[in-house]
Amino acid sequence: MNASDWPAMFWIRPELDLQQQPQPIAAFFDLDWTLLSVNSGVLWARRDRRLGRISRRLYARAFLYLLAYRLNIVDMQRVMRDALSTVVGETEQTLRQWTREWFDAEVAQHITEAGRRAVDEHRRAGHLVVLLSMTSPYIAEAVAETLDLDATICTAYDVENGLLTGKALQPLCYGPGKVTLARRFAEHCAIDLGRSYFYSDSASDLPMLEAVGFPRPVNPDLHLRLVAWRRGWSTLDWR
């Protein structure tokens, strides 16, 4: 990953003074089925189908991808190719506007109260509160503003001359790629991952759950629930 990719994949609140915390602790949060009680990708697919932006076939495929994701057998590179094929040639500003209007109308209401409380508790404890998700930078931006987060780490989209090319920057913020990005972020912010937290519902996030000192499975899928039981990790129910 080139240094020039930093602004696209990472966002840090401009007024944040990291010098006040020489080795801060972070609380990282996944989005779908964690901070949200739904999968935002499904809501977006429903929106696109309702507006006639995707075919019935691609809409059905989105639900197959969701099933594969829950079973931890999804090809995320293929998912991204299909998803971004629907916005090729659109301006980044248009997608940002679409996303914010959709988020306010259809997504914000699904932020869990337990998730809000956890964010507030970590903020009061002086921890950096960070969204760490496969989601787009435009959704991440809306979540950060709504929950007053300190930073976001997400999957970024390739943009040329203000237009979306249909490609995602690598690595995707998924599985081992999520750890790669989180470690780079931690190095930049002098975060001690061994003293940090990560909240997630999915076994696909096991690499990141293992990278922090305090893994927090939330509404875990079956695979993650079994792993948590074997390792003695406490699980949280935010539904």
In the prediction, which pLDDT does 3 show?
40
User: Could you give the C-alpha distances from 216 to 31, 114, 232, 239, in angstroms and in order?
Assistant: 13, 13, 11, 15
pLDDT, tens digit, for every residue of 103-124? 999 999 999 999 999 999 999 9
Q: pLDDT for 198-234, tens place per residue? A: 999 999 999 999 999 999 999 999 999 999 999 999 9
pLDDT in tens, 132-166: 999 999 999 999 999 999 999 999 999 999 899 99
Q: Which of 205, 203, 197 is nearest to 177 (CA)?
A: 205
Residue among 187, 180, 236, 170 nearest 211 (CA): 180
Give me 1's structure tokens: 């990953």
Q: Output the CA angle 231-236-238, nearest 5 degrees.
A: 155
What distance in Å separates the CA atoms of residue 15 and residue 150, rounded to the nearest whole number? Answer: 9
Task: Tell me: cis bond preceding 171? Omega within 30 of 0 counts.
Answer: yes
Measured distance CA(38)–CA(69) in Å, rounded: 14
3-231: which CATH topology?
Answer: Rossmann fold (3.40.50)
Rounded to an integer, the average pLDDT of 52-58 is 77
Summarize pLDDT for 62-117 with one digit per residue, the tens: 667 676 677 677 788 888 888 888 888 999 999 999 999 999 999 999 999 999 99
pLDDT of residue 2: 42
